[in-house]
Amino acid sequence: MSNIIDGKAVSLEIKEKLKEKVEVIRAEGGRIPCIAVIIVGDNPASRSYVRGKIKAAEYTGMDSRLIEFPEDVEEAVLLKEIQALNTDPGVDGILVQLPLPRHINEDRVLDAIIPSKDVDGFHPVNVANLWLGRPCFVPCTPQGIIRLIESTGESIEGKMAVVVGRSNIVGKPVAKLLLDRNATVTIAHSRTRDLAALTRQADILVAAVGRPGVITGDMVKPGAIVIDVGINRTEDGHLTGDVDFASASQVAGWITPVPGGVGPMTIAMLMENTLKASGLSA
Ligand code: GUN
């Protein structure tokens, strides 16, 4: 049986540290960091994620603004709001919850956020700077994954890492972060031949596919670190990952649960990025 990587506990420690830093800012009469979160429509999953982000801001003592638009909002209205937030000196970070309705061009919206307030790290300038190894906002989920791996005390350097999934939000950036830490990285995807043969070589296996149970125990190298990024809802309403926990946890050395693994870390990293956007280091 593997060791469980407790994302809830690790994220709580991070939030406690942030809370102390915000308390110092408050005591010194400084300006409290503020994140603006934009949500369009009422997708229940998006609503739940946004609630978590606002709650984390409250927990750490940061300010937040929740800006809600109806599903049929015009793109121009959204862009105008982002422009206003870009120039608002009281706002440090701007996050637009994805996905957006189909009539809105997601790229245009993300491009409109000023890179210095792009706490999600999705703006092309931040993406470019990440890949160039320059200072930038690092996307929250990938950054959270690295922190979870580091929490095991095992080193990343020289390890064989396999990332399953090639999204802009998780797969691609986490591959770059692992590469930066001197792992040998392979990105697998839906067209990869013999996925199991590949994943069985992975000392670090990151599953970010968005389909339940894609990774089973027979695909895991004994002793591997397995990070499950999937948040899939089953027919009976439960959350389940991309990894079949029951079988994989028999083989892995370390494994993240769903829920309570990567999810809480994404939010903790968002709070770190917000503090950073306000000009302070986390
Ligand atoms: N939707 C799913 N994940 C994310 C995320 O990390 N940030 C935003 N803004 N939307 C998301």
Its pTM stands at: 0.97
Classify residue 236 as exposed, middle or buried by CB count within 10 Å of its CB (0-12, 13-18, 19+): exposed
Ligand 1, pocket-test mutation among 109, 127, 169, most atoms within 8 A of CB = 169
Q: Does residue 19 sit within a domain?
A: no
Q: Does residue 253 sit within a domain?
A: yes
Name the residue with tokens 């915000």: 22
Considering the candidates 21, 63, 92, 97, report the single residue annotated as catalytic.
97
Q: Which of 98, 90, 96, 97 is nearest to 62 (CA)?
A: 90
Distances (CA, A) of 171 to 197, 204, 255: 19, 13, 18
Distance 97 CA to ligand 1 centre (A): 5
Spatial separation of the C-alpha atoms in residues 241 and 258, rounded to whole Å: 6
Query: Residue 139's pLDDT is what?
Result: 98
Distance 98 CA to ligand 1 centre (A): 5
**Ligand 1 atom 11: residue of nearest CA:** 98
Question: Where do runs of H (alpha helix) occur along 96-170?
Answer: 106-112, 124-132, 140-151
- Asked whether residue 43 falls in the same domain as residue 85, the answer is yes
**Do 82 and 113 touch, CB atoms closer than 8 A?**
yes
Q: Does residue 258 sit within a domain?
A: yes
- Asked whether residue 47 falls in the same domain as residue 145, the answer is no
Verify whether ligand 1 is closer than 6 Å to residue 141 (CB atom).
Answer: yes
> Residues for the chain: how many in total?
282
| 199-249 confidence digits (pLDDT tens) | 999 999 999 999 999 999 999 999 999 999 999 998 898 999 999 999 999
Which residues form the domain of 180? 140-263
Q: Within the chain, which residues score under 50 in pLDDT?
A: none
Q: Is 230 helix (H, G, I), strand (E, B) or coil?
A: coil
Query: Residue 282's pLDDT is what?
Result: 65
Distance 169 CA to ligand 1 centre (A): 7
- Asked whether residue 108 falls in the same domain as residue 144, the answer is no
Q: Does residue 130 sit within a domain?
A: no
Spatial separation of the C-alpha atoms in residues 180 and 250, rounded to whole Å: 30
Query: Residue 45's pLDDT is what?
Result: 93
Domain count, the chain: 2
Query: Residue 94's pLDDT is what?
Result: 98
CATH of the domain at 105: 3.40.50.10860
